[in-house]
Structure 1
Amino acid sequence: MTQITTLEQLRELYPMPAPLVVEKDVHHIDQHSRTFLQHSTLMFLATEGKEGFLDLSPRGGTPGFIKVLDDHTIAFPDSPGNNRLDTLSNLLANPKVGLLCMVPGVEEIVRIKGTASLHIDEELRQQCLDGKSKPKLVVKVAVEALFFHCPKALMLSKIWNSDSYQDRSFLPSLLAIIKDQQVEKTQHGDC
């Protein structure tokens, strides 16, 4: 058998994690995660659509774009984008979220699990500016669990090391990619 289908089969390959690893998640925003979030400029937001597929969306801003409202709540502006509203409509269908928060140059990541809600309160929108602009809405997340994630993936990827950056010339512009994909879509009958 080559496909793993049970936890028992999986555990035959991987030993049990150390107790500290199992117990490292906390159920509030502690001093270290608060400081980390206040310096974060990049976040990946995982949501689930009504079809059951997961979606992952990058969010970014200047340090402090993620606001720590209290020990159990964060908020961030919804920056203008392509208006597909994939993430926002997913949140209306299922408010459970996962977040990966990053600080450039720091290889640890803060992982958050929580429940999101969408808000248009004037005061909250003013508190969560998108640069200098007031966002149309703010996403609040009630933090249910968080922990600092091991830096191994970022260390291996060398994402923060400019020597690992690739020359962009291997890939056309985003507009050219989308145009090519539209042509392929019609050729494959995906319309």
Structure 2
Amino acid sequence: MTTITTLDELQALYGESHERSRRKELPRLIEPYRALIAASPFAVLASVGRDGLDCSPRGDAPGFVQILDDQTLLLPDRPGNNRIDSLRNIVENPQVALLFLIPGVGESLRVNGRAEISLDPALLELGRAQGKLPRSVLRIHIHSCYFQCAKSVLRSGLWDAARQVERASLPSAGEIFRCIDANFDVETYERDMQHRQRTSLY
């Protein structure tokens, strides 16, 4: 047999989890978890809807995900590509997960919960950045949260400057579009993209 098809088979392969890994999962934030969120400038938001799963990057200055209380987070929605995949999913299914990363830190923080899309003026004001309000905010009600050990970051060398990849060694966004459409104007797109990145982050 080369494929795991039952939970019993999976459990037999991996055995029981360590007690410490179970104890670190909590239904609310503790002070160390609050500190990790406050220091994080980047998170990945996972959601699920009728068309499947979505995993979307979110980033801003450290603390951009605000802690309203020990069981509630506030995530502002900054301008993007207007696909709104995550938001569509949340309308259909409020279950979400967040993975918080902190540059230079091996440990990460995982949060699972339920999200609602809010237009509450007071919450929008809390999400203001660079003088601009977000179009909406996610109010996330925490079901569980726990920190992840540093093994995956250490294996990947994620924060090792010596292992950083030169951007020019990979296809640019314009070149990727040209692979999709042979007539795509890469030069104009990439020139305009630089302007958009300077003027439309908020």
Please give the TM-score of this superposition, normalised by the length of structure 1: 0.91
Instruction: For residues 4-31 of structure 1, give each alpha carbon's deviation from its aligned partner in whole angstroms, at most 9, with x where no partner exists.
Output: 1112222232121111212220011111
The match for 2:196 is none
The match for 2:159 is 160
Q: State the AA in 2 paired with 1:100.
A: L
Relative to structure 2, which stretch is displaced further, 82-91 or 14-23? Answer: 14-23
Q: For this pair of structures, how many residues does the alignment match? A: 182
Is the contact between residue 62 and residue 131 of structure 1 (CA under 8 Å) also seen in structure 2? Answer: no
> Which residue of the partner structure matches residue 144 of structure 2?
145
Is the CA contact (8 Å cut-off) linking 1:55 and 1:87 kept in structure 2?
yes
CA distance in 2, matches of 1:102, 1:134: 24
Question: Any gaps of 5 or more consecutive residues in structure 2?
Answer: 183-202
1:108 aligned partner: 107
Distance apart, 1:65 and its partner CA: 0.2
Shift of 1:70: 0.6
- 1:45 Cα offset (Å): 0.4
Unaligned regions of 5+ residues in structure 1, if any? Answer: 184-191
Deviations 1:107-129 (A, max 9, x none): 11110000001111111111112
Contact kept? 1:79, 1:130, Cα under 8 Å: no
Work out whether residues 61 and 130 of structure 1, in 8 Å CA contact, stay in contact via their aligned partners in 2.
Answer: no
Q: What CA distance in whole angstroms lies between the structure 2 residues aligned with 1:175 and 1:132? A: 31
Q: Who is 1:134 aligned against? A: 133
TM superposition shift of 1:131: 4.1
- Give the conservation status (yes or no) of the 8 Å contact 1:29–1:71: yes
Q: Residues of 2 paired with 1:131 and 1:143: CA distance? A: 28
SS of the aligned residue for 1:82 comes to coil
**Secondary structure of the residue that 1:81 maps to in structure 2?**
coil
Where does residue 43 of structure 2 map in the other structure?
Answer: 43
In structure 2, C-alpha distance between the alignment counterparts of 1:7 and 1:22, rounded to whole Å: 18
d(CA) in 2 for partners of 1:38 and 1:69? 12
In structure 2, the partner of 1:21 is 21
What is the rounded CA distance, in whole Å, between the counterparts of 1:161 and 1:146 in structure 2? 27
